[in-house]
Structure 1
């Protein structure tokens, strides 16, 4: 898969966003123009094999990584124990 030329600072930010549980792939696509398949290819290229496998296991099927599958529309999670 052909990836666009990206500087190391942008690559680091994309990896950080991909690791975050609540950042959907759509947000990465909107900000950097990379589709989910391209993000996966970038992660595979930039990470150690064991780290990539661990990440793939975590995000596969995770509802929060896809806007369409999310159970909430917007905002951030607020625990019932959290004060206002």
Structure 2
């Protein structure tokens, strides 16, 4: 179940979820949403075809999970990202 989020927070979570190098863990730290909640939010906020495209894009993508990454230092960090 998703917590109440304002439209600005929803927009930022969607933006971070689309970014290839922003891991789900960063979204959890900044907004308190676990990966399955981010998926639920994306499903709710996007058209079905866009959601399917996003899921195909992030499924198995190493950069979306900190534990699967083969790099840590020198990674890009958005100015809007806290971690």
TM-score (normalizing by structure 2): 0.89
Q: What is the distance in 2 between the residues matched to 1:5 and 1:74?
A: 34
- The corresponding residue for 1:50 is 49
Name the larger-Rg structure: 1
Moved over 4 A (4+): none
Cα RMSD (Å) of the superposition? 0.9
Question: What is the rounded CA distance, in whole Å, between the counterparts of 1:53 and 1:37 in structure 2?
Answer: 15
1:76 corresponding residue in structure 2: 75
Number of residue pairs matched by the alignment: 76
Unpaired runs of 5+ residues, structure 1, are 78-84
Q: CA deviation at 1:74?
A: 2.3
Larger relative contact order (Cα-Cα within 8 Å, sequence gap ≥ 6): 2
Cα deviation, residue 75, structure 1: 1.8
Per-residue displacement from partner, 1:38-58 (whole Å, max 9, x unpaired)? 000000000000000000000
Alignment of 1:1-84 (within 5 A): 2-76=1-75
Structure 2: any 5+ residue segments left out of the alignment?
Answer: 77-83
Normalising by structure 1, what TM-score?
0.88
